[in-house]
Chain A
């Protein structure tokens, strides 16, 4: 029933006898409080290994792909956003939105859990999710105000350095240019 809209009914299957919660795709999930998750993410960010969060993002991306009847690359941005924001909300990761800043695609994630100060945990989650959705390796770099610019993983470190040096999102976009235009 791929009518273009996400159907949240029956997304979770609660097995009280077995003590498990699964998604309708069969993935087992665990309910965590925001405080516990925040401590775990802080520790992972200090160690420089956010792989678990990226893996969680990939799982969310798989949930999104299971609701699409065609590859995301041929769908409209609104259709992809509808499914992605629904899955993100079902897992409690806040409100997702797309923004276009010139040639750059920016992901806004409002009301997300407060995990780490630099928002690297959310960046890893979004990177893993959109890599799974687009079937390409993408990076979502924090640019402040709960916004993440989506760039190729090869330039992610450079963009992150600009942001840490104080550049805001318009400045970062201004320092980038399309490879196809040059």
Chain B
């Protein structure tokens, strides 16, 4: 207790030495209030002291900040884990699915080492024949066959209706 009072007093002396014209400073006022109120400076330093006014509470915050922040900023294990993860993945070759667009359409262009000697499993991994590009290839028919307009009956003119009705005779 007395050590803290001594340190505060020495600090007050230093301030007075720098600025001798100021006989009353905020530190001196605080020191005087601590003396007259409780007779000890422990209540002003301890963060859980209830009798201190709210204006004195910012004081312990700087002293507590470095004691809590230092261990987290320098010994965080998660940072090293994140840096190690790309290395760990790069040590193993990634399993990449073969894209459908570059899938060989004929067995001759497939790599021999990747194709098993037994042909039975191959159809299970291949795309269905119905959606292969070969199924929608042009058949060689001339396109003009599909673009010919269909023949619709010509709409009847008034003359057509007249000819029809004037051709009516009793059965």
Contact = CB atoms under 8 A, between A and B. Distances in A.
Interface of A: 71-77, 79-80, 98, 100, 103-105, 134, 136, 138, 149-152, 155, 158, 175-180, 182
Nearest to B170: A158
Given A105-B161, A134-B162, A152 B155 contact: no
A133 B159 CA distance: 10
B157 interface: yes
Contacts of B155: 76
6 contacts: A77-B157, A134-B158, A134-B159, A150-B165, A175-B170, A179-B168
B159 A73 contact: yes
A93 B170 CA distance: 31
Interface string B121-148: 0000000000000000000000000000
Interface of B: 155-159, 161-162, 164-171
B169 A176 contact: yes
Nearest to A84: B158
Secondary structure at the A interface, as helix, strand, loop or mixed, is mixed
A104 B165 contact: yes
A71 B158 CA distance: 10
A93 B168 CA distance: 27
A98 B156 CA distance: 13
A155 B165 contact: no
A136 B159 CA distance: 11
Contacts of B162: 73, 105, 134, 136, 138, 150
